[in-house]
Amino acid sequence: MRLAAHVAMEDSVPLKTSNTRLKSARLAAGYHSQQALADALGVGVRQVRRWESEAPPWPHPDLQQALTRVLGQDLEALGFTPPAGHDPVRRTLITGTAAAVGLAAVPSQTSAVIQPASVATDYEAVTRSHRRLYWSVAPATLHPAAVAHATLGCALLPESAGRTRQAVAAALAETWLLAGRIEFFDLCEADRAGATWHRSLQAAGEADDSLLGAAVLAHSAFIPAWTGRRDNAVERMTAARTYARRGPASAELLAWLDAVEAECETRCGNTQTALHLLGHGEDVLAAGGDYESPAWLDWFSPVRLAAFKGNTQLKAGHLPQARATLQGVLDSLPASEEKQRSVILGDLSAVEVAAGNPEAACGYACEALDQLEATWYATGMDRVRDVRRALVPHQHQQCVRDLDERLYGWSTTVSALAR
């Protein structure tokens, strides 16, 4: 009885904390309690208390590897003294993991410097700011800032561990995703975007964020789809959907995957398949889901889904339906959606060209140019140029000449060449 009482008292009273190295590493890695670290390692909290005690016992071999993996430092740096003649496990996880996934953009960790947990919060704050700035700042201005922020993230990643490292990696993945979006949609540099999205996927893997991985893979499907390589696009979409199933995917994310695949099918000439996918996306949104959308999914909404649908109806030759859908999108589009507005106006212009109404087509095209002067978007300009090519049979009409005056005016031409 006395022995049992003594053991119970020992379990209930925390051991004196004096291994400050381990405690500091735990806090820097984002584990703010001994229980949190115990959960990450799969051990009892009493074991962590012993390690942070005045005389920490030498960890078992499998726990040695777990400690160096989770905290990013070797055992001696964590305050442990190896037994005589014992070669301690050195920190190898970060360099090993990076090499395993080919994360060339992330340097190997050769320094014992470990950043505090606050570095993740600070890095994420800038990532969020760039996310919001994308909708109003000129892409040529924002892109260098995003790339520089990604470079910083690559420097911070080897100097962080545990939850801190995971958070930095997720923010880095989002930053690379944004940079790739600018390269593809705004700067029309598909090859460069592909390389950037590859880095984004690697960083998402470091963060073990399957939803971010799904988003990156779906974006990468646009690249082959734009050149009619359907098999490659389908393969990437299959991978994206697989990743989405691994995490708490929201209805919006799943519907967006339908919209992306529909866009790919439309680009490859399969408009009926695309319309079926868009109908499924509408059903998914209507049914809702159990999970909230991630904060970075700010490029999609029910209105955006309708915009995809209107474009596909246009390509399918369903002109009355396309006109009604796109006009509804234009009426519902928030004022902040300036880039998308130029795309919708371009699609409405294309509807009128196909319907044999060149004057109405030129009117929408001029409105799109007005929007592009305020907020440049290469995808929007592509829509206007497509319309102008379709207007060749009507190019002697005054409305088309007026459009040319706008399309090839000084400000528009200089902006297009500069961006």
**Measured between alpha carbons, how far is 89 from 318 in angstroms, rounded to an integer?**
66
Tell whether the model's pLDDT for residue 167 goes beyond 70.
Answer: yes
97 pLDDT band, cuts 50/70/90, is very low
Distance from C-alpha of 261 to C-alpha of 101, rounded to nearest angstrom? 27
Instruction: In whole angstroms, give the CA distance from residue 202 to residue 206.
Output: 6
Is 144:102 a contact under the CB 8 Å cutoff? no
Q: Can you tell me which residue has the tokens 């929201």?
A: 250
DSSP state of 53: B
Contact 407, 371 (CB under 8 A): no
Token code pair at residue 268 = 């490859």
Q: Tally Cβ neighbours within 10 Å of residue 24.
A: 16
CB 248 within 8 A of CB 211: yes
Does residue 178 carry a pLDDT above 90?
A: yes
Helical spans, DSSP H, in 288-409: 302-316, 319-332, 338-354, 358-374, 378-390, 398-407
Distance CA 159, CA 71 (A): 11
At 220 the pLDDT is: 97
Angle between the N-to-C axes of helices 338-354 and 358-374, in degrees from 0 to 180, rounded to the nearest 10: 170
Distances (CA, A) of 416 to 193, 341, 373, 385, 409: 19, 18, 10, 11, 11
Q: How many Å apart are CA 79 and CA 108, to the nearest integer? A: 23
Span 310-342, pLDDT tens digits: 999 999 999 999 999 999 999 999 988 999 999
- The answer to whether the CB of 388 falls within 8 A of the CB of 407 is yes
How confident is the model over 391-416, as pLDDT tens digits?
A: 999 999 999 999 999 998 776 666 65
When comparing pLDDT for 12 and 126, which is higher?
A: 126
Closest CA to 193 of 18, 39, 378, 1: 378
Residue tagged 């004096």 (tokens): 18
Residue 6 in tokens: 């003594």
Helix (H) and strand (E) counts for the chain?
21, 0
Cβ–Cβ under 8 Å, residues 70 and 162: yes
**Confidence tier at 417 by pLDDT (50, 70, 90):** low
For residues 30 and 25, what is the distance between their CA atoms, to the nearest angstrom?
9
pLDDT for residue 112:
57
